[in-house]
Amino acid sequence: MLTPPMHYLQLIVALLREWLPFLITLLIGILVIIAAYYALIKRRPPTGHLVGRQMLIAAIVGVLVVSLILELPIDNEQRGQLLSLLGILVTAAIALSSTTLLGNAMAGFMLRSIRNFRPGDFIVVDEHRGRVSELGLLRTEIQTERRNLTTFPNLYLVSNPVTVVRASGTFIASSVSLGYDIPREKVEKSLLKAAEGAGLTDAFVFVLELGDFSITYQVAGFLEDVKYLISAESKLRGSMLDSLHQASIEIVSPTFMNQRQLKPEKIFIPEGSRRAKPKVSPVDETRPEERMFDKAEIAESEAKAEERLKEVIAEMERLDKERDGKADQASAQAQFEELSAKRAELEAEILRHKEAKKLDEADAEAGAEADADVEKP
């Protein structure tokens, strides 16, 4: 007859034999997931496609879960019930989220395929205007001119018109209403001078409306550097104000009424506005966009660096294939080393941008936590 300690030892050994396949599968699965994480995310060059790598790791986790169920020391009927339950849960999750999750994912793939806008581009959606700071599989984020971040589901962007300001340049315009007593030629000349003073090219003037009491004019010009769109629009309006005042054109409505007793020769133009303004060098000019769209600037620089990195890697692969057949090995080797240095430089630049984004997100989280602490009673 077995003593109690021996009996317990045999039970433990029997349990280990029974659960050993499950434990081995679990250990192997964990090692595979860790290796896949480091190989696909940590040690890969930062050239994008992060969503695809995450989905691949999720698929590996799914295969591991099914394998663990198959290795459980239970009878086939219970194993089949567990697999059926897992299938029902997955199907229910997909069915419940299909209208939003899958819809946004498909919209994200569509936006990536047509590539009508990229990180850093100015876009206008309904009443929202800003620069694209992040392009995700499910959502797109823009940074507004107040430096705030606005997030759109990708399905919303596919279902609604999106205006993209072309990176090669755009026309900006501004309107002003003036009285019928001012000659049109004089107004158009002053407005064209204003567009030129604002640094715009190919300027033109439209007469938009002949109202009951005033004429609405619109001046427009071509802006090459769209990064400074907000400042350029403000500069155009300021230049219009100065140019019209210098031409002794009052910007007042014909229904304007002032109850003070003034001399007839009094005109409503500030004294300083009648003199020509000194020109400001573009280097010394204030550019608030550099602070407004800091996250969008980082995203644009990162995207451009990733594109250049892909081109360098493709060139290195092509050169590596052709290098063996070249007679001038020294020249090919020098070119390959130059590309390798460029690749390392771009990878370091991308990593700097990613660190800057992480720091910005950490600052945002810290600010949100501080606001929450303040709101607590």
pLDDT averages per 10-residue partition of the chain, 377 residues: 64 77 87 84 59 78 86 83 86 73 83 84 90 88 88 90 89 92 92 93 92 90 90 93 90 63 66 56 61 75 84 82 63 79 85 77 55 45
Q: Burial, 337: exposed, middle or buried (Cβ in 10 Å; 0-12, 13-18, 19+)?
A: exposed
Token pair of 355 as six digits: 């660190």
CATH assignment of 122-164?
A: 2.30.30
Q: What is the 3-state secondary structure (H, E, C) of 233-284?
A: HHHHHHHHHHHHHHCCCCCCCCCCCCCCCCCCCCCCCCHHHHCCCCCCCCCC
Contact status, residue 141 vs residue 288, Cβ threshold 8 Å:
no
- The C-alpha R_g of the chain, in whole angstroms, comes to 33
Amino acid 368: pLDDT: 46
Amino acid 372: pLDDT: 44
Token pair of 357 as six digits: 């984004």
Amino acid 359: pLDDT: 74
Amino acid 62: pLDDT: 85
- The string of DSSP letters for 90-124 reads HHHHHHHHIIIIIHHHHHHHHHHHH----TT-EEE
Rounded Cα distance between 189 and 204, Å, is: 10
Token pair of 24 as six digits: 């081995």
Amino acid 284: pLDDT: 54
Token pair of 371 as six digits: 């606001």
- The string of DSSP letters for 17-35 reads HHHHHHHHHHHHHHHHHHH
pTM given for the model: 0.58
Q: Is 180 helix (H, G, I), strand (E, B) or coil?
A: coil
CATH assignment of 170-259+268-275?
A: 3.30.70.100
Amino acid 376: pLDDT: 47
Amino acid 370: pLDDT: 47
Amino acid 377: pLDDT: 45
Euclidean distance between the first and final Cα of the chain, in Å?
70
